[in-house]
Chain A
Amino acid sequence: MKRKTLQLIKQSTALASMSAMVFLTGVSTLHAQDNSVQGNIAILVNSLDNPYYAAEANAAKAQAEELGYEARVFSHSEDVNRQRELINSIVAQGANGIVLDNADSSASVAAVRYATEHNVPVVLINREIPEDGIAIAQLTHNNVQAASQVAEAFIEKVGESGKYVELTCNLADNNCVTRSTAYHRVLDQYPDLEMVARQDAGGELLRAKQAMDSILQEHSDITGVIAGNGPVALGAIASLEAAGITDVTVVGIDGSNDERDAVLDGRLYATAMLQAQELARQGVNQLHQYLETGETGESEERQLFRGVLITEDNADYVNDFEYQSN
């Protein structure tokens, strides 16, 4: 009996140590050798299970590696504290530069400043911070232009009167607020166009579908839905399809492959494709330029990138947030 217990304990300990060894070995093999010519760039984005951020991260990594850097991708999952901790570790690890899609605008200022003070230049992509002079460049999508064009397309289809619903993305994100404001800047100029409901769908597909379900119960005579981002638009479409409604116009912004497919199917009227890949590539290029010459090569810190209006005519050109017009 004692021998058996002892044996059990021995086996368990052995198993535990073996598993530990296996995983630690696995971890160490993932630690690439630092043979790069140029240096080390860290790419820090939001959750990688979102195709937008995955597209950004992959494009940045590919571009960095093409320029001869070793590139590592990290995710802060929209947690500002985790972002700060990651930047601390990245700087301690000796990175030469950071490409950052930050977790929140004002809360990220301290973290970007920390990196800059430790001689690690930071290029911000997609989301800005409210202070200039800290990051070497801030590349963002022209959300206002994209939203305005989408709203104008919406009006062309829906007409200048009628009832519509707005489902926003996560209003804690500045970009989302910008889009919503831009939509209203256009839509509110038409007094016969009435917004009967506005819900914060958090930028998520399921939440948008559920919100739309509830709204449809109360307002069955709407003619259009304007969505703050891609997943929300797709959620609204799912809800309308489940209810068997086919004559409601839905528009959104983002331009993922799922939205492209919905546009080609005729379920989504229009969207604006944000040039995630181009943004990430340019970010890496400017970082590289700065590391080589001390300047990014651009006269302005904050630079805008155009969102491309996507309708049935040009949806074919969209692939992974890249507009391939040739």
Chain B
Amino acid sequence: MSSVSDVGVPDNVEHKASLRLSKALLLVLKLRIFVALFVVIAYFSLTVNNFLTTSNMLIMAQHITVIGILAVGMTLVILTGGIDLSVGSTVGLSGMVAGFLLMQGISIGDYTIFFNVPEVILLTCLIGALIGYINGSLITYLNVAPFIATLGMLYVVRGAALLMNDGGTYSQLRGHEALGNTGFSLLGNGSFLGIGIPVWILAILALITWLVSLRTPFGRYVYAIGGNEHAAVFSGLRVRKIKLWVYVFSGFCAALVGLVVTSQLQTGHPMTGDTYELRAIAAVVLGGTALAGGRGSVIGSVIGACVISILNDGMVMSGVSNFWQMVIMGLVIIVAVVIDQLQQRLQKKVMVTT
């Protein structure tokens, strides 16, 4: 136990009392995202009809998954000090790819190949991972700043999604028995033990990612890179490879979301996912991850996504106007960051005087 103490701090009762208060406050601030979740649920359950009913909770859980899965991937990216603005466009493109494979198949000469649903899912995830790989390569090998690289990819990927069917959609994804590609709607609409499959996907993905981030070397490296990238480089970490994987994972998560949404809509729509990257970033920031990297947690981001989504649904059910919803959402994000700053200052104070 180190005993670095502040020179000249009087060791009196008043000091101890304020320290206890600071520590208590610090605890509350650290758990603030859970506090926020509780407050939001409590408020809406009191003011809105049918809020705490099972059916509504299940619906809200479904809504959480879209931003939640994106937030899981985004957390790792932001933890390394980067950012991924292209996830929304990747959601759109993966929806279109899935739609294309189910509706048109791949034509070679006079023959067309139709993949079954698990293959379509796999191929779409690969496309998402590929986009992530391109992002990662631009950032690590060509040294383009993450903001710029993923911003450029945002446009490229969105344009690609629109080009695929000339701005049109791929509808009728029910598939044909004869082609062996029925059952796609199960991904988004099916349920297991009463809970929707997308929710299970989010839960399992979040759990695995959380464990990886905290219990494996890879996770440690991610935090290390975000904390102090130069030190990480000088310490011999394969920073490039780790960053690359992190963006690949983010692209993969975006593809998952694209599949889920397309399955629920039964249509591949090229504009799906528009501005979702901003909502994912908001969820991550709300959950306590610093944009500079090195600090944060996957579970926090998922809870952040819950708060945003429930707040959104609650406001809709309360009849709040669309424009006010935007204002409130923005204020929530700002307040979250301000509180985060307070927490940091308080933390330093508590740490120094221990």
Question: Do A and B touch each other in the complex, judged by CB within 8 A?
Answer: yes
Task: Decide yes or no: A81 and B261 within 8 Å by CB, A24-B43, A31-B48, A88-B63 being known contacts.
Answer: yes
B328 touches A3 (CB 8 A): no
Cβ contact of B15, chosen from A2, A19, A24, A77, cutoff 8 A: A2
Check A86 for interface membership: any CB of B closer than 8 A.
Answer: yes
B-chain residues with CB within 8 Å of residue A75 when the two chains form the complex: 322
A16 touches B338 (CB 8 A): yes
Chain A nearest CB from B93 CB (Å) reads 15
A-chain residues with CB within 8 Å of residue B267 when the two chains form the complex: 80, 104, 106-107, 109-110
A104 touches B18 (CB 8 A): no
Cβ contact of A106, chosen from B169, B328, B345, cutoff 8 A: B169
B338 touches A93 (CB 8 A): no
B265 touches A130 (CB 8 A): no
- 0/1 string, B94-138, CB within 8 A of A gives 1: 000000000000000000000000000000000000000000000
Check A245 for interface membership: any CB of B closer than 8 A.
Answer: no
Within 8 A of A (CB), among B6-62: 15, 18, 21-22, 25, 39, 43, 47-50, 53, 55-56, 59, 62
Check B321 for interface membership: any CB of A closer than 8 A.
Answer: yes
B317 touches A107 (CB 8 A): no
A-chain residues with CB within 8 Å of residue B264 when the two chains form the complex: 81, 84, 110
Task: Decide yes or no: A94 and B49 within 8 Å by CB, A106-B171, A109-B266, A110-B267 being known contacts.
Answer: yes
A19 touches B331 (CB 8 A): yes
B-chain residues with CB within 8 Å of residue A79 when the two chains form the complex: 271-272, 274
A172 touches B270 (CB 8 A): yes
Cβ contact of B316, chosen from A2, A19, A86, cutoff 8 A: A86
Q: How many A residues face the partner with a CB closer than 8 A?
A: 47
A-B contact pairs, 14 of them (CB 8 A): A2-B349, A12-B339, A13-B25, A20-B39, A31-B319, A79-B271, A80-B269, A80-B272, A81-B261, A81-B273, A89-B316, A94-B49, A106-B169, A110-B266
A92 touches B56 (CB 8 A): yes
A-chain residues with CB within 8 Å of residue B278 when the two chains form the complex: none
Task: Give the tally of cross-chain contacts (CB within 8 A).
Answer: 128
Cα–Cα distance between A89 and B172 once the two chains are bound (Å): 25
Cα–Cα distance between A77 and B316 once the two chains are bound (Å): 14
Residue on B nearest A81 in the bound complex, by CB = B261
Cβ contact of B319, chosen from A20, A32, A111, cutoff 8 A: A32
B316 touches A5 (CB 8 A): no
B169 touches A48 (CB 8 A): no
B18 touches A3 (CB 8 A): yes
Cα–Cα distance between A93 and B15 once the two chains are bound (Å): 52
Within 8 A of B (CB), among A41-85: 48, 72-75, 77-81, 84-85
A-chain residues with CB within 8 Å of residue B47 when the two chains form the complex: 27-28, 31
